[in-house]
Structure 1
Amino acid sequence: MDAHAHFAQLARYNVWATARLLDAVAALSDEEYRRDVGLFFKSIHGTLNHLLVGEHAVWFRRFSLGESPQKSEGVSLDMEMESDRAKLAKALLDGAAKWAPLIASWPAERFDSTLDYNTMNGTPVSLPFAATLAHVFNHGTHHRGQLSAALTALGQSGPDLDLVVLLQQTAAATKKTNA
C-alpha cells in the first residue's frame, strides 16, 4: 500500500471512530460526562478536549501550516478548548475531516521526509514525517480506547471501534454498489 492510501485510510478511520464514539458519549448525562472517572485528563469531557488540542490545535497546525504552538501562547495539552458538549463534538468531527484533504495534497516524497517543528516548550525537533503522522492517528486511537472503557465503567455500551469493522463495512458497501 502506498503512503497516500495508507494515511487516507487512517484519516477515514479517525472520522468514523470519532463519530461512533461521540454517538455513544451523547447518551451520558452531563454529570457522567464531566465526572472524574480516573482518566489521565480526568473526565470524558477533559479527554475529548485533550483530543481536540492534541490532534487539531497542535499536530494539525504542525503538519498543515508548519506552525509550532507554544505553552507561552497559552496552549496546553490539558486546556479546555470548548466547554459546550455539542460544540466540542462538532469541532472534533470537523477537525477529523480536515486530515484526508491535507494528506491528499502532499506529494508522495513528503512521506519519506522529516517533520521539523518546535515542541510546546520551544525545543527544536526533526522526526520522520510518516511515523510522526502515524503517531497522530495512534494517539487518537489510544484515547478513544480510554473513553470506551470509561463508557463501560459508567454502565454504557462502548462502541465497536475496531478498524476491521470499518473495513468490513466498506467492503460490504463496495460489493453492494458493484452488484
Structure 2
Amino acid sequence: MNSLSPFRSMAENNAWSNHRLHRACAELTFDELTAERTSFFPSIHKTLTHILHVDWYYLDALERGGRGLGIFKDVAPFTDFAALRQAQREADRRLVSFCERLASDAALDDEVQIPREHYVQVDRVGSVLLHLFVHQVHHRGQAHAMLAGTRVKPPQLDEFFLAAELPLREAELRELGLPVR
C-alpha cells in the first residue's frame, strides 16, 4: 500500500456509504425525511443536504473551481430526494476521480486555497481530504442515527475495507463502477 491508497479507498468508501445510506433513506416519504429529529441539523434531509454542500465546497477548492462560498447561497436546493441523491452520487464520483488523479505522494502536499468569510485559508490537499472524510463520516453517522428512529432499518456502513467482507459490498461496488476489492 502506498500513501495514496488510503485516500483513494476513503473516497470509494464514502461513495459506497452514501449509496447505502441514500438507498435506505429513499424508502422514507418526503415528510419522514424532513421531519424534525434530534441532531445537529434537525432532519435527515437537512443533514444529507449539509453533507452535499460541504462536499461541493471542498471539491470546488480542491479542483480550483472558483465558486467558493457561493456554493452555500441556496441552503435548500433540493425539494426532491431523488435529485439530492443524484447530486450526492455525482459529488462522490468527483471525489473518487480527484483522488484517482493524484499522481504522487507530493500531490498531497500541494496547496489548496479555501475561501472563508474574511480570508483565504491555505492548506494541503492531504489535510483537506482527511478533513472532508471525517466530516462525511461524522454527519453520515448523525443521519444513520436519525434513520434508526424511523420505520426503515439503517444500513450497515462499516464493512468496506476488510477482504472477508467483500461479498457484502461487491454488487454495490459494481453498481457504482468502483473497483471490486
Letter of the 2:133 partner, please give it: F
- The equivalent of 1:126 in structure 2 is 122
Letter of the 2:21 partner, please give it: L
Q: Structure 2: any 5+ residue segments left out of the alignment?
A: 171-181
- Superposed displacement of residue 169, structure 1: 3.5
Q: Judging changes above 3 Å, is the alpha-carbon distance between structure 1 residues 167 and 23 closer, same or farther for their aligned structure 2 residues? A: farther
- The equivalent of 2:35 in structure 1 is 35
- Cα distance per residue 1:138-171 (max 9 Å; x no partner): 1111111101100111243111111546654437
- The equivalent of 2:5 in structure 1 is 5
**Structure-to-structure mapping, 1:87-98, within 5 angstroms:** 87-98=83-94
Q: Which has the larger share of helix?
A: 1
Q: Judging changes above 3 Å, is the alpha-carbon distance between structure 1 residues 88 and 164 closer, same or farther for their aligned structure 2 residues? A: closer
Identity %: 25
Q: Judging changes above 3 Å, is the alpha-carbon distance between structure 1 residues 15 and 66 closer, same or farther for their aligned structure 2 residues? A: same
CA distance in 2, matches of 1:74, 1:23: 25
Q: Judging changes above 3 Å, is the alpha-carbon distance between structure 1 residues 18 and 135 closer, same or farther for their aligned structure 2 residues? A: same
Runs of 4+, deviation exceeding 4 Å? 163-167
- The equivalent of 2:66 in structure 1 is 67
- Root-mean-square deviation over aligned CA pairs: 2.2
Q: Judging changes above 3 Å, is the alpha-carbon distance between structure 1 residues 68 and 122 closer, same or farther for their aligned structure 2 residues? A: farther
Q: Judging changes above 3 Å, is the alpha-carbon distance between structure 1 residues 166 and 65 closer, same or farther for their aligned structure 2 residues? A: farther
CA distance in 2, matches of 1:16, 1:62: 23
Whether contact under 8 Å (1:21, 1:159) holds in the other structure is: yes
Secondary structure at the counterpart of residue 79 of structure 1: coil
Q: Judging changes above 3 Å, is the alpha-carbon distance between structure 1 residues 67 and 162 closer, same or farther for their aligned structure 2 residues? A: same
Q: 1:144 aligns with which of 133, 140, 145?
A: 140
TM value normalised by structure 1: 0.83
Letter of the 2:64 partner, please give it: L
- The equivalent of 1:176 in structure 2 is none
Whether contact under 8 Å (1:111, 1:130) holds in the other structure is: yes
Q: Structure 1: any 5+ residue segments left out of the alignment?
A: 174-179
- Count of matched residue positions in the alignment of Structure 1 and Structure 2: 168
Query: Does residue 124 of structure 2 align to residue 112 of structure 1?
Result: no
